[in-house]
Amino acid sequence: MHIANAGLIRFMLFFLLTILVALPSAATQQIYTVTIDLGSGNGSVTYTEIATYNITCRVDAKYTYYYTRYNDYSFAYHPVSSSQIPMAGTFTIISGSPGSYRSNCPNNGIYGSPHTLLQKDYQVYVYPQNGGVHAA
């Protein structure tokens, strides 16, 4: 009786481990505060970025892919001589996705329009390029 129970327990452990290995890992989020220095005497731009890693999508109902989505928001210009000035707008960046061809996966890309802050003596321009956010 004891030997039969040991075999059953080994089978159940193997079955449980097989199920756990087959389960997709959960998406995780990390929040960053990013600063872009505009050079000496020009101030900086800051924004908040939420990176969501290990988002899953299925292709042809049999392949699972993992991709990353970055949501950038709360842009602000920080002049050298005065307090911050908020800038409206958001960006979403999709990276590592196989694309929407025959799947429910999003296309890789950068989504959102450039932001422009016009002031009396200067203009601040924030734009997406090469998988990231830049300012001039």
- Per-residue pLDDT reduced to its tens digit, 50-59: 999 999 988 8
Q: Give the end-to-end CA distance of the chain in Å, rounded to a whole number.
A: 76
Question: How does pLDDT run across 3-24, given as a tens digit for each residue?
Answer: 555 555 555 545 444 444 444 5
**Which H or E run contains 2?**
helix 2-22
For the ranges 3-17, 27-41, 75-89, 101-115, the lowest mean pLDDT is seen at 3-17
Q: Where are the domains of the chain?
A: 26-135
pTM above 0.85, yes or no: no
